[in-house]
Structure 1
């Protein structure tokens, strides 16, 4: 599926601090607009977080810093592969980088693996095949309500997302990520199978991200 080099990000829905819902709607629009396969089979939803819920990312629009650095509790992006051999693309609605960006550039400019971090800030990645995510994900936005019941951040105008089986909330199942969940060997066929079949996908470390998608794209 041919993808334009850049797209106007304003064509996509974006509610600040609701990246999981933004990416859910992004995947649907990429499918509907013919930018991805009709079922989203070339798309993967990626949750970035860790045990401490402290992940530094750079070139983020929400930052007040010149380098765009933000310390998120978690973040969600979409990665698109291309069976024709083109490089994977990253769709990040909160990024200052070109939209979409090649995965290698995104890793270099946003994740910045060369930047030495304390272990508390090590980033983990949950990779979920988009068709599974679109049918299984649900959020009633409870994580954005304070103890007094008021919104911490204003919610999106659309109705909360409900899973196809009627589940109303499972966001925590996606953004709770532990290093003990991370797969050590991503080259096995069982890992590829898990990416395409498991409700919660697989968890990998940041130094495995590009390697994983180089294997997935060869299927």
Structure 2
């Protein structure tokens, strides 16, 4: 995730909507800029005892030009628009439908009601397709994400060995075999798009419309 103050930790919603359990965490406790994939892993680590249904979502496309609005790294003049190579968020589902989104990079409230997040975070589909390329969503169950996510952070190294952005202060999150699978897990390829809606090894790829039909 390449692109760029502490904000409110929670949004005042109804007591039912904020039923996140005692393990819920404030945004900045797990946040490292440009490491959204690890931020979400740390969120799930904190929410391990939560009985709700949680998912990670990798936002990208085959050209790695995913247009996302309302991002803290974007400018207010452009609606917080950032073109990420990939971005990762989390959402909670109740009865199979998304009700809250946790995006640690959003300018919106944290957490954000799912309907608000998906109406304000993405450009209209026709504009996306014409100018930027469609955005796809790879949906991964939280338990699988925590169990299998593996990154040695090599994608954040410049050719001279310097970091593109300072890494988190904890060790790399690696699977038991010690093999990094960042490219496989965080990319959405043309083959993934062609075979979308299939539950494959690492999540299910959906279009925005398909995601809305299924989860909203």
Q: Which TM-score bucket, shorter chain as reference?
A: 0.7 to 0.9
CA distance in 2 between partners of 1:213 and 1:86 (Å) = 4
The C-alpha deviation readout for 1:112-136, integer Å capped at 9, x for no partner, is 3356122643101111111011111
Question: Counterpart of 2:140 in 1: which secondary structure?
Answer: strand
Residues 184 and 213 of structure 1: CA distance in aligned 2, closer, same or farther (over 3 Å): farther
- Give the TM-score normalised by structure 1: 0.79
1:28-67 to structure 2, matched below 5 A, reads 28-32=45-49, 36-37=50-51, 42-66=53-77, 67=79
Please state how far the C-alpha of 1:16 moved relative to its aligned partner.
0.3
Query: Which 5+ residue runs of structure 1 have no aligned equivalent?
Result: 215-219
Question: Counterpart of 2:137 in 1: which secondary structure?
Answer: strand
1:1-219 to structure 2, matched below 5 A, reads 4=18, 9-10=26-27, 12-32=29-49, 36-37=50-51, 42-66=53-77, 67-83=79-95, 87-113=98-124, 116-117=127-128, 118=130, 120-163=132-175, 165-182=176-193, 194=199, 198-214=200-216
Count of residue correspondences: 196
CA distance in 2 between partners of 1:87 and 1:9 (Å) = 20
Contact 1:15 1:22 in 2 (8 A): yes
Query: Which 5+ residue runs of structure 2 have no aligned equivalent?
Result: 1-15
CA distance in 2 between partners of 1:28 and 1:146 (Å) = 29
Residues 45 and 8 of structure 1: CA distance in aligned 2, closer, same or farther (over 3 Å): closer
